[in-house]
Structure 1
Amino acid sequence: MTTVNDTILLEDCEVHRGALLHFLDDPGNDPDPRQGSMAFIEDGLLITHQGKILATGPASEWLPRLPSGTAVTRWQDGLIVPGFIDTHVHMPQLGVMASYGTQLLDWLETYTFPHEARFSDVDWARTEASRFTDLLLRHGTTSALVFCTSHPQSVDSLFEAAEERSMGLTAGKVMMDRYAPDDLMDTARGSYNDSLALLEKWHRRGRQRYAITPRFAATSTPEQLALAGRLAQEHPDVMVQTHWAENTGEIDWIRELFPERSSYLDVYDHYGLLGDHTVLAHGIHINHGDRKRLAETGSRIAFCPTSNTFLGSGLFDFRNAREAGVTVGLASDVGGGTSLSMLTTMAEAYKVCRLRGQTMTPWQAFYLATLGNARVLHQDDQIGNFKPGKHADFVVLDQNASPLLEMKSAYTTTLMEALFNLMILGDDRAVAATIVAGNIRYQRSASSAPDTSSQPLTHKQGA
């Protein structure tokens, strides 16, 4: 082994070479990122050991210091970024993506509920969980906050698939005891018992985390919401996920079902479901009072731009949420969302902001999809950037992956332009490889294979 600047480089460490970009803090949403918020190395080394980040630095400094015979995987023209994180996605809804012509409530009844009912079949659940995790990796997503169905086996199947791939997922069984088909409904007490059993089985088992998951206030009785809140109070380190203020018809329905509550948000507040471990998907039709209460409780919003536009739900007010001190994550929301790609999600977020007279810089977009979303999930001590000791989850992006990206690259002179090209024109084709816990779990094709060779101690940059 070799010790360099208090970092021990072991003979069996793994080394990846390419341009490195990661965020150390929120860069803000101005064209110039806040000082010290990001690190970019045009020709860098990412050094890992046993699935964790060991060190990063310029290739010119680190190559001569590697133990003799160390293999270096060189991603020619690749941009290496932390693995993408999705803060709201539905595993059982892959099959209802791109379903035509309805808004939220009709969409649930027409497409979603019939498809989710199939997850009573364990074999189907396992097949779809494998398909889902493989597709996440194909799109560069290494961690996510996931809705399963009301069937406990859907949760088991997803966590089993994640474990096989060394991924770290946070997921939960949907709690839903009214206004749903009989084959999807549980009971208030049954949902509590099932959720508790799954939590005790999976929460903090390796990289897996559990999430208490009432679908939304309309499909849970007051008793079920109260028990969900009780479970959250009993396990304060467990995430809570649900939907909120997505559609005006939904909001009117909640008002009818809970006339004693002052607002939709007050329903969740009353039942003990707000807090800094709570992620509320959507939050479109809200006011200053709602944002103030979110900031007070630390509750987070998952911004889901592709589903919000596809279902015609509305345009999220990103700027006002940030100015109110609300923590915001970025999410695909498949299957209402139309892509698992966080690059595509960034593009739609930019467009939503523009339609509101706002903007989202590529700095902010890439921060949200990595360290920002890790912070939403309270996992920024383990994932989100390349600090030593974190899981070696990262994505290699190909800036020439499509004809349009290749054409644009000829006119690109700055890192900001390169990132903007990727977020507006990129999709799963731009993912050359996805690495989880130091292992390549997806590689686009043989043509994207990296150059791997052993490097002597005297190897120099560009040799």
Structure 2
Amino acid sequence: MTTPLHSACAYRAQLLYFVADPATLEDPTEAVRYHSDGLLLVNEQGQIQACGDWAELAGSLPPDTQQVDLSGKIIMPGMIDTHLHFPQTDIIASPSSGLLPWLETYTFPTEGRFGDSEHAREVAGVFLDELLRNGTTTALVYGSVHRQSVDAFFEESHERNLRMIAGKVMMDRNCPDYLQDTAESGARDSEDLIKRWHGKGRQLYALTPRFAPTSTPEQLAACGELARAYPDVFLQTHVAENKDEIKWVSELFPNNRSYLDVYDSFGLLRPRAIYGHSIWLDEQDRARMHDTGSIAAHCPTSNLFLASGLFDFQSIRNSKVLHTLATDVGGGTSFSMLRTMNEAHKVARLNNYHLTAASMFYMATEGAARALDMQGQIGTLAPGAEADFIVMDPKATPLMARRSTMLNSLEEQLFMLALLGDDRCIQASYSAGRCVHQRDH
């Protein structure tokens, strides 16, 4: 249960959120709700009670309402990061020649320490601090193979009353012995964690087979059984990230048509299933993702850092596949969804696709909420939603302040934030109506 606030609170600022995908409308501005002088009212239960123009709502505020003037700032929904690894916090920006060497050199040795609950909780705290400092209020998070790592993460998140989704990695082959579980133990630990954490407070669970090469057919089958037994939990893994990885999968699963087909054959394509990267999919793969309601999580900074490839926005959108943005820390090089947007725009341009700023902010908020089957709950400022929101300073740096004097549209404003912004733009982050990050002035 959400701890009640002392009283309702009204915030005065510019307000911005989305009600549709701008890329699907003839007039993209109809997808946006923008109030240049707005009022956001948050009730004692940490939910949004009202959102609109200050002039229309201010006169009807309850008499004991606290009022916070943030004029000149922008309030928008907290961002949603759909793919990242908390045990990799300390190896972000580690050099490597590619994905598989990076896993062997940095990832596996680092994750070996997460059987220590105290270490796991300390890193989880740092990780959550970084998310909130960058304006991310919900994330889909990989733990390590150790169930202690996920207990530690959820304990830290639950204490802060954050809306987080996480899971224990399942990995029973092609990894160091000290990181292996078994098909039986991985399924047992995952089910125990589901029963303990899924729906406890604001915590949600995700079944997490790392990727096909590190799971036997027996483990993937066990994961499929859990997915059928618990249809409301999430599922997260990797697919079609790197050509060397794809070749490896074809050798391990010679009877499957494609990498994605491996997961499909075990019943792992479905709503609330998030597939990180999804770069090297073919037309049949994309059709299957669309038909099953599975989600492609685009990780541009990681894809560029590891030279994995360029995400094909045009084909994904032509196939109407649900797709979101993600940092993929620690292969990704920043916790900032703004910096992630920056790279996503450039990746799209390299594939001859123009990705608008409105589309990127939609993907990081309302679009992600819809893809995750959480529409109306997070990713919006609409009344009834959980009050997870951020306060953005569009003049956070001297260059941004100067550029702000020359903007002629909301698209230009958002594009400037995406291309020039980073954690300095996040003045504050709120979770369930409580301030959980305040930028040090």
By the TM > 0.5 criterion, same fold? yes
Partner residue of 2:284 out of 268, 289, 292: 289
> Are 2:173 and 1:197 equivalent residues in the alignment?
no
Q: Distance in 2 between matches of 1:164 and 1:319?
A: 41
Aligned to 1:58: 53
In the alignment, the residues of structure 2 paired with residue 298 and residue 386 of structure 1 have an alpha-carbon distance, to the nearest angstrom, of 25
Q: Does 1:208 align with 2:203?
A: yes
In the superposition, relative to structure 1, how do residues 414 and 157 fare at CA in structure 2: closer, same or farther (>3 Å)? same
Q: Secondary structure at the match of 1:178?
A: coil
Partner of 2:410: 415
Cα separation, 1, equivalents of 2:352 and 2:415? 18
For the pair 1:261 / 2:266, whether they are aligned, the reply is: no
Distance in structure 2 (CA, Å) of the matches to 1:383 and 1:53:
11
Q: CA deviation at 1:101?
A: 2.8
Segment drifting more, 433-442 vs 411-420 = 411-420
Q: 2: CA distance between counterparts of 1:346 and 1:32?
A: 22
Q: Describe the SS at the equivalent of 1:16.
A: strand
Measured in 1, the distance between the counterparts of 2:354 and 2:155 equals 39
- 1:341 aligned residue: 336
Which of 377, 395, 398 is matched with 2:393 structurally?
398
In 2, the alpha carbon distance for the partners of 1:396 and 1:366 equals 14
Q: Which residue of 2 aligns with 1:41?
A: 35
Flag the 1:112–1:31 CA change in 2: closer, same or farther, 3 A: farther
Q: CA deviation at 1:30?
A: 7.6
Quick check: 1:110 aligned with 2:105? yes
CA contact (8 A) 1:21 1:81 kept: yes
Task: State the partner residue of 1:177.
Answer: 172
Runs of 4+ in 1 over 3 A off after TM superposition: 29-32
Residue 68 of structure 1 and its aligned partner are, at CA, apart by 3.0
Q: Does residue 341 of structure 2 align to residue 331 of structure 1?
A: no
Q: Which amino acid aligns with 1:299?
A: S
State the identity %. Answer: 50
Would the aligned equivalents of 1:295 and 1:324 in 2 still touch at CA under 8 Å? yes
| In 2, Cα distance between equivalents of 1:396 and 1:297 | 36
Q: Give the secondary-structure state (helix, strand or coil) at the position aligned to 1:198.
A: helix
d(CA) in 2 for partners of 1:258 and 1:240? 21
What's the CA shift for 1:375? 1.5
- Is residue 79 of structure 2 the alignment partner of residue 84 of structure 1? yes
Task: Name the structure 2 match of 1:217.
Answer: 212
Q: Unaligned stretches of 5+ in structure 1?
A: 1-9, 448-463
The alpha-carbon deviation at position 67 of structure 1 amounts to: 2.6
Q: Distance in 2 between matches of 1:404 and 1:179?
A: 48
Residue 348 of structure 1 aligns with an amino acid whose one-letter code is: E
d(CA) in 2 for partners of 1:104 and 1:119?
21
Return the letter of the residue paired with 2:49.
L
1-side partners of 2:6 and 2:188: how far apart?
A: 48
Q: Distance in 1 between matches of 2:295 and 2:59?
A: 45
* CA 236–410 in structure 1, closer or farther in 2 if over 3 Å, else same: same
**Comparing 381-390 and 418-427, the one that deviates more:** 381-390
Query: Contact 1:148–1:174 (CA<8 Å) still a contact in 2?
Result: yes
Q: Which has the larger radius of gyration?
A: 1
Residues 280-326 of structure 1: per-residue CA shift (max 9 Å, x gap): 10011111111111111111100000000010000000121011010
Are positions 1:74 and 2:69 aligned together? yes
Q: Which amino acid aligns with 1:137?
A: L
Equivalent of residue 248 in structure 1, options 243, 246, 249: 243
One-letter amino acid of the counterpart of residue 39, structure 1? R
Q: Which residue is 2:119 aligned to?
A: 124
Q: What's the offset of the Cα at 1:227?
A: 0.3
Pick the aligned partner of 2:91 from 92, 96, 112: 96
Aligned pairs, number: 436
Over aligned residue pairs, what C-alpha RMSD do you find? Answer: 1.4
| Native 8 Å contact 2:293 2:321 kept in 1 | yes
Counterpart residue number, 1:454: none
Distance of 1:122 and 1:405 partners within structure 2: 42
The one-letter code matched in structure 2 to 1:47 is: L
Tell me, in whole angstroms, the C-alpha distance in 1 between the residues paired with 2:9 and 2:151.
Answer: 32
2:376–2:382 CA contact under 8 A, matched in 1: no
CA contact (8 A) 1:45 1:58 kept: yes
User: Against the structure 1 CA distance between its residues 95 and 104, is the aligned structure 2 distance closer, same or farther, given a 3 Å change threshold?
Assistant: same
Unaligned runs of 5+ in 2: none
Given residue 437 of structure 1, which amino acid in structure 2 is its aligned partner?
A
CA distance in 2, matches of 1:191, 1:337: 26
Q: CA shift at 1:182, angstroms?
A: 1.1
TM-score norm. by structure 1 comes to 0.92
Q: Is the 8 A contact 2:239 2:278 kept in 1?
A: yes
TM-score between the two structures when normalised by the length of structure 2: 0.97
Q: 1:377 aligns with which of 366, 372, 379?
A: 372
Q: Which residues of 2 match residues 141-180 of structure 1 at below 5 A?
A: 141-180=136-175
Residue equivalent to 1:424: 419
Quick one: which of 26, 31, 43 aligns to 2:21? 26
The CA distance in 2 between the partners of 1:101 and 1:227, in whole Å, is 33
Offset at residue 189 of structure 1 (A):
0.2
